[in-house]
Amino acid sequence: MRYDDAVASLFQISLEHFVAERKRLAGELKAAGDKEGAARLSKLARPPISAWVVNQLWWHARGGFDALFETAQRLRDGKLEATAAHREAIAKLRAQAANILTDAEHGATEATLRRVTQTLSALAAAGGWEPDLPGALSADRDPPGFEAIGISNVSAPPATPAPPPAPPDADDDDDDDDAEAADTRREAAELARRRELEAAAAQAEAAAALRRAEAERAKAAAERHRIEAALRTAQGDVAQREREVARLERELAAARTTVVQAQAVVQGLEERLAQLDS
């Protein structure tokens, strides 16, 4: 077994078995003659639950990461029209993380999912997992700049280079006014862009909340259908048993009538026998 293979195996294990699996894999590496790899593996920290589920997304939702990195690269290339697609990629991975946490019986709390989102944004901003191996985070990542609201490394458009200084003349005041007006326009444009990003972040969060609510409603509806089906089965069983009871009661009544008739025959025979003896 190689060190990279051991790391990949370790970070796919359930969180509660991480320490025991780390010890076992380190032992395998050491037995295979890779003492350095065994020592490195032994020093890998058990990740927090938020980093653990990001690792699981890499191993079990690779397509979501492809979309995350692809849209992040488009944003780094200055293609801001990719913003919506990038937010959608993060929202989908966040929803999958919630499902993984629930299936593993861990709490999919808002705090945990917020850290998951921040780590996804940081990975997107960096364009990869370095210095960690893919799917092998031991800690959460903090995104820089705009990534804190879910946009990976959005670069501002390049500023127009300032013209070379002109010799002093009577038009200097007009040039200063033009430069000041250009600065004001750039500041206004930057403010508008920040507000647009913040609005998009709020919209993505609202959409994610709506999807979570819809998933809960679907789960409740499925549970209701299951209970209704069980109720119908139980009601049918009760009706069948009631019919069986009625049938047995009819047979019991008929049997009692037969007993009465037999008793009358016995009594008649006993009376005739008594007459013969007298």
| Structure confidence at residue 80 (pLDDT) | 92
Burial class (CB in 10 A: 0-12, 13-18, 19+), 10: buried
| Structure confidence at residue 213 (pLDDT) | 66
Three-point CA angle 186, 188, 194, nearest 5°: 100
Contacts of 121 (CB under 8 A, 6+ apart): 90, 143, 147, 148, 150, 151, 152
**Window from 135-144, 173-182, 223-232 with minimum mean pLDDT:** 173-182
Looking at the predicted structure, is the pLDDT value of residue 194 above 60?
no
Tell which wins on pLDDT, 1 or 36.
36
Tell which wins on pLDDT, 156 or 87.
87
Where residue 71 falls among pLDDT bands split at 50, 70, 90? Answer: very high
Domain extents for the chain? Answer: 3-157+185-226
Contacts of 75 (CB under 8 A, 6+ apart): 82, 83, 86, 151, 152, 153, 154, 155
